[in-house]
Amino acid sequence: MRRFTLLPLVATLCLPACRTSAPEAAQAREAPVTAGVVVHGALREMMHQGRTASVVDVAQAAGRRGSFAVGALADLAGEVTVVDGEAWLSYAEQDGTSRTVRTREPSAGAALLVVGQLPETPGMTLDEDIPLSALGDRIAALAQAQGVDTTQPITFTVEGPLQALAWHVIDGRKLRSGASHQEHASAGVQEQRAQATGVLVGFYSTRHQGIFTHHDSDTHVHVVLPEENASGHVDNVTVLRGARLRLPAPTAR
């Protein structure tokens, strides 16, 4: 397993208006981006430079209450989602289906893993429907209202009714070197549900494009569906009114 050196916070963050450079992406592979969020690997390097080997054991994010994570398995063999210490490992199968393994003692490695913590609180009930395109802005607004520092990456979960849900499980065997985000999604196992009940696990940041969000997004979101024993990377969803949102504790001042 690769060893990491913990660097000061300033080493991984840029000014609010900037986009992340390649050197900063390299730093992010080796440092926490906040006291509560740690990133292993970098999305840009994984997707466009072929760095798909394991950089961390998934076990580092599993087995602990309050631990949440999203990422990709080593060699892009599938998706990683950790919900309250339980790892959901979704693998793309040869027949075009996916298989999900749930465990608190995973032995798999990840090419990308973003890890955060959430307090054990019931969260807040959402009073409106929120499409994925607006989710980042609503997370930021609600977090700011709760006293959470929105200049830092934010771990969040949304549990409840979902609509127009689409997700994929990546399949690295079908990808060419330097494939685009759309190619990653279309080459994987794709699933859709008109209606579902599940849990979204995500991270919000305006400063980490290319590290753990894509260049056109401020969120990286996965879904787990307990009734179906399924999980994966979210491509589309509308969170329906009545779902419950969990956010980090207010920032100490």
Residue 197 domain-assigned? yes
DSSP assignment, residue 82?
E
Give the mean model confidence (pLDDT) for residues 217-239.
Answer: 96
Give the model's pLDDT for residue 209: 78
Residue 3 domain-assigned? no
Same domain for 94 and 64, yes or no, is: yes
Same domain for 163 and 186, yes or no, is: yes
Judge contact between 115 and 82, C-beta under 8 A.
yes
| More confident: 94 or 142 | 142
Give the mean model confidence (pLDDT) for residues 31-48.
Answer: 76
Q: Which two tokens stand for residue 128?
A: 């409106």
- Domain termination residue (choose one: 77, 100, 117): 117
Q: What is the dihedral of CA 178, 182, 186, 188, to 10 degrees?
A: 60
Same domain for 112 and 136, yes or no, is: no
Same domain for 231 and 182, yes or no, is: yes
Give me the number of domains the chain comprises: 2
Q: Which domain, by its residues, includes 82?
A: 9-117
- Domain termination residue (choose one: 97, 117, 137): 117
Judge contact between 217 and 205, C-beta under 8 A.
no
Q: List pLDDT tens digits, range 85-137.
A: 999 999 999 888 999 999 999 999 999 999 999 999 999 999 999 999 999 99
Judge contact between 98 and 78, C-beta under 8 A.
yes
Give the mean model confidence (pLDDT) for residues 167-181.
Answer: 74
Same domain for 198 and 146, yes or no, is: yes
Proportion of the chain above pLDDT 90, given as a percent: 68
- Domain termination residue (choose one: 59, 89, 117): 117
Between CA 166 and CA 193 the distance in angstroms is: 7
pTM here is 0.83
Q: Is 81 helix (H, G, I), strand (E, B) or coil?
A: strand
At residue 183 the predicted structure's pLDDT band, cuts being 50, 70 and 90, is low
Give the mean model confidence (pLDDT) for residues 70-93.
Answer: 96
Between CA 64 and CA 76 the distance in angstroms is: 25
**Mean pLDDT for the chain?**
84
- Pick from 2-6, 154-158, 191-195, 215-219: least confident: 2-6
**Cα–Cα nearest to 170, from 234, 239, 104:** 234
Phi, psi of 43 (to 5 degrees): -60, -45
Neighbours of 163 (CB within 10 A): 15
**Helix residue ranges, H only, the chain:** 22-28, 43-48, 132-145, 181-187
Question: What residues contact 84, with CB distance under 8 A and at least 6 apart?
Answer: 65, 66, 67, 68
Residue 251 domain-assigned? no
Same domain for 162 and 215, yes or no, is: yes
Strand partners, 190: 168
Q: Is 124 helix (H, G, I), strand (E, B) or coil?
A: strand
CATH code of the domain in which 185 resides: 3.30.1330.80
Same domain for 107 and 135, yes or no, is: no
Residue 4 domain-assigned? no
Give the model's pLDDT for residue 16: 36
At residue 156 the predicted structure's pLDDT band, cuts being 50, 70 and 90, is very high
At residue 48 the predicted structure's pLDDT band, cuts being 50, 70 and 90, is confident
Q: DSSP letters of 237-249? A: EEEPTT-EEE-PP
